[in-house]
Each structure stands twice: as structure tokens, then as C-alpha cells.
Amino acid sequence: MREMTSSVRAAPPRAVLETLGGRGGEALLLGHVHPDADVLGTLLAIGLALDQVGWSVTLAGPHPVPPPLRFLPGAERYEVWPRAPRTFPLVVTTDCPNPRRMEGLLEGTREPAGAVLNIDHHPDNQEYGTLNWIDPAAAATGEMVYELLRALGLKITADIAVNLFTAIHTDTGSFRYSNTTPRTLRIAADLVECGAPPALISDRLYQQRPPDALGQLAEVLRRVQISSDGQVAWLAVPRGLVSDAFVAAEELVNYPRSVAGVRVAVLLREEAPGVVKVSLRGKGDIAVNRVAHRFEGGGHENAAGCTVTGTLDGATEEVLTAVREALRGPRS
């Protein structure tokens, strides 16, 4: 089922179509920690599509829909569960490589004889489902779910199109990153024909900053640092400098990433005393997920993350040392 190297994308496996086809049933669509647009857009798209054909669908995850994504159609149905209330015969996860990222909810909701359908595009997916459809060639899980709904013959309504377009839009950095393929753009075009308005979605994602955001941005941007050889740019954000809502709404790692000549960009954010959340971005030839794996994180070759324990300064030093080693090592 894995399609690691081929540029021709894998179609949805027959077993996946059989699980979601037929006469319907009861399903939990389960999200991961700090849900982003790819996981939410795909879960909501599957949920809205299964609704149409008589499934009983529950959508939930360990953390709430962040405010900038509350415009996604169906987002109000997404429940936040501190722990699993009961089990489900079918649990569907999307965009989630590792069951730990569901904070115990998968263990608490799966049934011994039930099915877990794991749909993802992360190359390091741990295949924790009873059925795993993993396609690292997909720019976003949104592309895979588009293919899935088409293969199932389900109608892509305007609401579904908004969810899938947003998933693909964000995972490709608005169609700017190297994962954007002709296929990505064809799918996006079809989603626009189905009723996803690109201008409205861009407005909701990027033009809804609260008035105090630019001042916080100024505070953060002056902290960007660049290595003497110009290849690494990083941004370390101490706790309390800016609001949590601001950090959640902004892709701050994009600023060090935007500097010419930078091959690896790093955002280090002190989440709690002694806990530093790290985002890594590579441009082209560096597999930053290898760096993330050294700290028990993961992700894609060009976009990965991990959590490091220690002070902000200590974590910065450790991660930058690992990045420098990766830059010296064989090119991937």
C-alpha cells in the first residue's frame, strides 16, 4: 500500500473503499493534538460525505479547532475529549503518523474486533491501523481524501470542497512548496468548480489578524538569527513574550524560512517551563525529519517537528548542533 518513490499516486486501496462504501454504520473520525487544516479539513470532508449516505458520524479529538479554522464547514461538530467516552466499531484517523499524537483517544475508542482506518501522507507513519493507506507522494492528506470521495462516488458539495481545498492550500503553503504537483493543482481546480472560493479561504486563513498581532510580530521578528554561513535561520520565542493565540495563528517558522540562502529554518518555542516545541523547515536538499527523529519527533522531509526538554537556550543549542550535523552529512 505504500507508494514511496513513484510519482504516480496510489489509488485508494480496495479495502478502504469497502470499509467506507456499502450501507453505512457508525464511525468516529478522530483528530490529533493541535489540529491543523489538513487533519480537520479531511475529517470534516469525510464526515460530511458519509452523512450524505446514512452513516452516523462523530468527530472528535484531544484539542479544539483553533479560531482561524472555525470557518471550516462542520467545525462546530468537532468535539473535544479529554478522555474517550466509549468505543466505536470504526475509527478513522487522517494526517496522523503516530497514535501517541491522539493522546490515548485511539486506545480508548478502538474495539478489539473493530476497524481502525489510518489515512496519511507522512513517510514515517507507524501503520497503527487495521487498515493503513499511506501515500507520501500526496502533498496533503486532503489530496488523498479527494481521491477517496471520488472513488466512492460521493458528491463533493461546496462545504466538502472548502474543507479539502483548505487542507491542500495550507499543506502546500498556498501552492508554493515543492510538494505542489500538477495533480495538486488539478484537484484544487476541481474543488473550486465544486464551490470552494479561493479568495474567501485565503481571507479566512491570512487576513483575519487581530489588531494587536502586528505588534507581536514585530516583537518576534527582531529575534530571528542567521548563522554566519547564512544556511541556518532560527527564531527562539520565550514563554510570555507573545500570546499563545498569536503563536497558534501564525506560521512563525516561515519568517526565518523566507531568508535567501537559508537551507534550514527553525522555530523554538518555550511552551511550558522546561518544554520547547520545535518546528523545522528544509528547503530542498535537507531532510529535516531526520533531525526531528533524533528528538523523537517526526514529519516530512521538508517540514518536521519535535519537543525538546530543557531551557530555551539549551534546546536551541542542541537542535542547532543537530541541524549543523545534518547539513554536513550526505545530501538526501
The H or E element containing residue 169 is helix 158-171
Q: How many residues bind Mn ion (CB under 5 A)?
A: 5
Does residue number 95 form part of the binding site for Mn ion (CB under 5 A)?
A: yes
With CB cut-offs between 5 and 8 Å by kind, which of ligand 5GP, Mn ion, none does residue 98 bind?
A: ligand 5GP
**Whole-angstrom distance, CA of residue 23 vs CA of residue 153:** 14
Does residue number 103 form part of the binding site for Mn ion (CB under 5 A)?
A: no
23-62 footprint of Mn ion as x/- string (CB under 5 A): ---------------x------------------------
| Residue among 298, 308, 315, 322 that touches ligand 5GP (CB under 6 A) | 298
Segment 227-286, which members bind ligand 5GP (CB under 6 A)?
279
Q: How far is the CB of 14 from ligand 5GP (least distance, A)?
A: 27
Q: Count other Cβ atoms within 10 Å, centred on residue 16.
A: 22
**Whole-angstrom distance, CA of residue 181 vs CA of residue 135:** 14
Residue from 139, 145, 182, 186 nearest 42 by CA: 145
* Strand segments (E) across 55-209: 56-61, 79-80, 88-94, 110-120, 131-134
With CB cut-offs between 5 and 8 Å by kind, which of ligand 5GP, Mn ion, none does residue 135 bind?
A: none
Does residue number 303 form part of the binding site for ligand 5GP (CB under 6 A)?
A: yes
Residue from 168, 171, 220, 218 nearest 194 by CA: 168
Give me the residues that bind ligand 5GP (CB under 6 A), please.
Answer: 97-98, 279, 297-300, 303-307
Footprint of Mn ion (CB under 5 A)? 38, 95, 140-141, 171
